[in-house]
Structure 1
Amino acid sequence: MIDVIDHDNFGYGTQAGDAMRGAFDWEMYYKRIPIPLEMKRADPTEPFESPVMAGGLFAVDRKWFWELGGYDTGLEIWGGEQYEISFKVWMCGGRMEDIPCSRVGHIYRKYVPYKVPGGISLAKNLKRVAEVWMDEYAEYVYQRRPEYRHLSAGDMTAQKELRNRLSCKSFKWFMQEVAWDLPRHYPPVEPPAAAWGEIRNVGSGMCMEIKHLVSGSPIRLENCVKSRGETSWSHGQVLTFGWREDIRVGDPMHTRKVCFDAVSHSSPVTLYDCHGMKGNQLWRYRQDKSLYHPVSNSCIDSSPMERRVFMNTCDPASPSQQWLFERTNATVLEHFNRDSN
């Protein structure tokens, strides 16, 4: 298990959630997902299987490590190696377990002290892993990262020959037998969104806009891009109310990792790193066109004079609390609202 050593004061602690399974989303960001109920054990100190390791912190039989080819020497500098070794272990006859009573502390630096030549090593590494190991599932990565399609990943002949020589299983087998719970959290095919596009206020005719894509940034009320006569959408006004019932920046296929978040009644609506666990990031779009926040039992309100977006006591008659999404999926919205009742 990997614990956290604070970069500033060397304080030692566990990661949020502590024991969780290593995973990934289809943009190939490393993720941690809860141990499913089907795998829960009475004794929390017992080892548990994990689809993906976090990187270089593991113990393995040396002879077998080299039989697997070690790390792919075609990977450059940093990134992607955790997927390459994890897929290879599972698909080529091994298994990986996390041991809760075995702990390694890791300092998570706030900055990278070295420069990456060309700046595309990580992308090339991920493309290489996808091409060698992910079979038809690589397409789900390219749908979200179209810039990877035409990127050169170098000569992969030796890696593909290694996979054949070791009689490794398919990535479909990996997804069905090892990472079977991953699609619950990160589905390969994104379920349809409930609503997306600009979010226009009925009272003022102004739109919500994101100025800065960093945690803590407030949501602002600004003149709608389309009303200003601009031909292309501003990314800051393209928002998606998606299947996780949170609101993210971007269109349904290209959402960013920041979500609408509110702490309490009367607090501002701000961006926060998406966690997918509902809570402060759970929203309801109701028939009265209000955006309701169950945790605070309040609704998103707005002040066009101050250009503020904030939480307030719900008032179905107030136009400043009524919002129109550019596009909606009535079936998904009905499903959300039915489940909430």
Structure 2
Amino acid sequence: MRIGYRRIRKLWLIYLFLLFFAFFMFAVSINVYLQSLNVSDMRKRDAKYHQKLREKSSKNVIVAHYIGAGSIFGNATKDDFNQNNFNPVEAEGANGKPVVIPPRESLIMQRMFQVNRFNLLASDRIPLNRTLPDYRKKECVAKEYLKHLPTTSIIIVFHNEAWSVLLRTVWSAINRSPRHLLKEIILVDDASERDFLKEDLENYVATLPVPTRILRLSERKGLVNARLLGADKAKGEVLTFLDAHCECTKGWLEPILARIKENRRSVMCPVIDIISDDNFGYQKSFEYHWGAFNWELHFRWFVLGKSEIDKQTTDLSAPFPTPGMAGGLFSIDRSYFYEVGAYDPNMKIWGGENVEMSFRIWQCGGSIEISPCSHVGHLFRKSSPYTFPGGVGQVLSENLARAALVWMDEWANFYFRYTSLDVSSRDKYDVADRLALRKRLHCKSFNWYLENIWPNNFFPGHNRFFGKIFTLDNETPITKAFDNYILQHGVRSRQMSWENLFTTLKPMSNVLRSSLDGENDLCIQKTTNQSALSMAIASAVVGNCNRDPRLQNLFVITPKGQIMTNEGICLDSFDIPADMTGIVRITECHNTLRQKWEYDVMTQQIRHQGSKLCLTVTEGGDRDVMAKKCNNENSQRWGFVPLPWKETT
């Protein structure tokens, strides 16, 4: 009886599973059917426009457009890519609110997401003139600007952009810019393939209340050359470049133009707010951050330093300098744009042009600033829908290589050595014309840029240590070499300054590097399973040193004892009593005592300046780095391997 009962229970479970599966398939079928009815209904609305569009398009031959492997939502079809389904719903997305797609339309929403890599179904329901919140501070709202400000030409480059997103960008600029300041809007089509971006767009922009024209490239040239074409045809006194997926907010333009009128060499950027790619909700971003670059020269946002924030408290509406700009949204005096070298026309498609321009503007006598009174939303996507001839990685690397070779001096060797590029490949880039421009403009050095424009940078420097920090816990060749050398050369005090230590170690760098055992020696590194890009707190651990340079275990140490690495993150520990154990993290650099360390040459300990606890390797599988009471154990002994960064060989 017991065996029969178990069999019956198993059969009953199988029956329930089959019943559930049948119900699920029935629900999916009904859902797809309802969606087809809904799409049909959507296309019947605004029938005159869509009928005209369909008459111009080819027959509905379904050709699969492959995006990824095995999408459960189905691949987008040729018709999906070439159809304009803009069908606004009154008040949808009003005041920047997110759009909620009903569950019955979730499958088509996911399929259409593939077209532009954002929620196209949501965008097509938002009116072109939707309202947005005014996030300006009261000091900005109260600020009065001169009536006689320079006029501007807005230049927008697009390639296969969605109709609703592109025209919402245009209308937001028209509706929220004083008409007498908006000279014109120039749309530059970088060889789009969508039918609705051709004659239909021409007819539409002809009806706009601001002079708007479309310049078209017959083949894909990329952002730089498309913007150069737009700038060449512009008539405004100021060039304002916007990406094709933005929304300008109230009062965005006046503070930008006012600052350029004060100083024509100021290149002005707005605060870039976030438009969600999932639901098109408009989100305010933090105003007091500035832009710079990581070791791979990828753009990053960083929080303003304390000194800059203190300056802002005296005038919350005042623009502040930024070492770099994102590049998608900025304004520049038209004459100055050409005086300072415009864009490097040999940069391909997209990427790196913002790095090159940031270095060039600062090093050649200009400035880049952010106005906290100007807010523009930007649609941020998790992945790009665009293809790049040669591949995105190759195009970006080559563009960045050009920027490095022209503007970074010996730091260009650092870029080539510690990225995917080969130092020997630098000779293949012809940058003679840009080097001649630099000489003609009497531009300053990259060292000047780091010391004066970005003094809290985390790059290697002439008075900084750059290399690996390893534990002397093992009896390996490098441990013996370090012990012998450090005890025999110039040790005069227990707390040798960091600079003296760097000088002492430099002659020994080749021996230490050759002695490094990648299998057995352990180096401090940041964990790679947490995002340093978002300044999240990551654990400090030790792992195999590996002779190959890997960015996660390379560190810079400043003369003041700040131990930092790529992405502007530092070794950090709380100031706690000496009888406790402190957690050592790698988190955003902020130049406080929590992130200051000293080295005792005699004991070979790295000591926290605040708590006086020593950096310690814990036992166990994770090998975390902690701050513990100092003792004579090997787990608290550390050595340093200097690595070359400015040498060409």
Task: State the aligned residue count.
Answer: 306
Sequence identity of aligned pairs in percent?
26
1:123 matched to 2:397: yes
Q: Is the 8 A contact 1:245 1:278 kept in 2?
A: no
Specify the SS of the correspondent of 2:396.
Answer: helix
Q: After the TM superposition, which residues 183-194 of structure 1 pair with which residues of structure 2 at under 5 Å, given as runs?
A: 183=455, 185-186=457-458, 189-193=461-465
Q: Higher RCO, 1 or 2 (CA under 8 Å, sep at least 6)?
A: 1
Deviations 1:209-263 (A, max 9, x none): 65853436645567x77xxxx9x479599664711634457xxxxx786654557
- Corresponding residue number in structure 2 for 1:315: 629
Q: Matched residues in 2 for 1:94 and 1:256: separation?
A: 26
Q: Is the 8 A contact 2:526 2:552 kept in 1?
A: no
Residues 283 and 4 of structure 1: is their aligned pair in 2 closer, same or farther, counting only changes over 3 Å? farther
Q: Matched residues in 2 for 1:220 and 1:192: separation?
A: 22
Q: Matched residues in 2 for 1:160 and 1:211: separation?
A: 37
Deviates further, 155-164 or 96-105: 155-164
- The partner residue of 1:5 within 265, 274, 288 is 274
Compare CA radii of gyration and give the structure with the larger one: 2
Residue type of the partner of 1:316?
A: C
- Corresponding residue number in structure 1 for 2:215: none
Residues 217 and 49 of structure 1: is their aligned pair in 2 closer, same or farther, counting only changes over 3 Å? closer
Residues 267 and 109 of structure 1: is their aligned pair in 2 closer, same or farther, counting only changes over 3 Å? farther
Shift, 1:202, TM fit: 8.0
- Corresponding residue number in structure 2 for 1:245: 561
Q: Matched residues in 2 for 1:200 and 1:63: separation?
A: 59
Shift, 1:25, TM fit: 6.2
Q: Matched residues in 2 for 1:288 and 1:261: separation?
A: 21
- The partner residue of 1:325 within 638, 642, 649 is 638
Deviations 1:257-295 (A, max 9, x none): 66545578656545x455353565444445655544467
Specify the SS of the correspondent of 2:411.
Answer: helix
Residue type of the partner of 2:636?
A: W
Specify the SS of the correspondent of 1:82.
Answer: helix
Q: Matched residues in 2 for 1:217 and 1:162: separation?
A: 43
1:138 matched to 2:138: no
List gaps (5 residues or longer) in structure 2. 1-269, 476-519, 531-536, 643-649
Q: Is the 8 A contact 1:268 1:309 kept in 2?
A: no
Q: Is the 8 A contact 1:5 1:108 kept in 2?
A: yes
Q: Matched residues in 2 for 1:258 and 1:92: separation?
A: 29
Q: Matched residues in 1 for 2:593 and 2:637: separation?
A: 23
Q: Is the 8 A contact 1:245 1:282 kept in 2?
A: yes
Shift, 1:46, TM fit: 1.9
Q: Matched residues in 1 for 2:430 and 2:551: separation?
A: 39
- Corresponding residue number in structure 2 for 1:252: none
Q: Matched residues in 1 for 2:293 and 2:551: separation?
A: 26
Q: Matched residues in 2 for 1:289 and 1:21: separation?
A: 38
Residue type of the partner of 1:125?
A: N
Shift, 1:100, TM fit: 1.9
Residues 183 and 150 of structure 1: is their aligned pair in 2 closer, same or farther, counting only changes over 3 Å? farther
- Corresponding residue number in structure 2 for 1:47: 319
- The partner residue of 1:75 within 337, 347, 353 is 347
Shift, 1:51, TM fit: 4.8
Shift, 1:139, TM fit: 2.1
Q: After the TM superposition, which residues 195-214 of structure 1 pair with which residues of structure 2 at under 5 Å, given as runs?
A: 196-201=468-473, 207=522, 210=525, 212-214=527-529
Q: Is the 8 A contact 1:128 1:153 kept in 2?
A: no
Shift, 1:58, TM fit: 0.9
Shift, 1:57, TM fit: 1.0
Shift, 1:68, TM fit: 5.7
- Corresponding residue number in structure 1 for 2:297: 28
- The partner residue of 2:444 within 171, 181, 186 is 171
Q: Tell me the TM-score normalized by structure 2.
A: 0.38
Specify the SS of the correspondent of 2:465.
Answer: coil
Q: Matched residues in 2 for 1:237 and 1:74: separation?
A: 32
Deviations 1:43-90 (A, max 9, x none): 231234445332121123446546666433321233221133345545
Q: Matched residues in 1 for 2:606 and 2:346: separation?
A: 49
Residues 152 and 51 of structure 1: is their aligned pair in 2 closer, same or farther, counting only changes over 3 Å? same
Specify the SS of the correspondent of 1:143.
Answer: helix
Q: Matched residues in 1 for 2:539 and 2:455: separation?
A: 31
- The partner residue of 1:100 within 372, 379, 396 is 372
Q: After the TM superposition, which residues 197-236 of structure 1 pair with which residues of structure 2 at under 5 Å, given as runs?
A: 197-201=469-473, 207=522, 210=525, 212-215=527-530, 218-220=539-541, 232=547
Shift, 1:309, TM fit: 2.5
Q: Is the 8 A contact 2:527 2:541 kept in 1?
A: no
Q: Matched residues in 1 for 2:342 and 2:311: separation?
A: 32
Specify the SS of the correspondent of 1:46.
Answer: coil
- RMSD between aligned residues: 4.8
Q: Matched residues in 2 for 1:291 and 1:50: separation?
A: 34
1:150 matched to 2:425: yes
Residues 92 and 195 of structure 1: is their aligned pair in 2 closer, same or farther, counting only changes over 3 Å? closer
Q: Matched residues in 1 for 2:347 and 2:292: separation?
A: 20
Residue type of the partner of 2:331?
A: A
Residue type of the partner of 1:98?
A: I
Q: Matched residues in 1 for 2:317 and 2:288: separation?
A: 9
Q: Is the 8 A contact 1:69 1:162 kept in 2?
A: yes
Q: Tell me the TM-score normalized by structure 1.
A: 0.64
List gaps (5 residues or longer) in structure 1. 250-254, 330-341
Specify the SS of the correspondent of 2:373.
Answer: coil
Residue type of the partner of 2:404?
A: A
Judging by fraction of residues, say which structure has more helix. 2
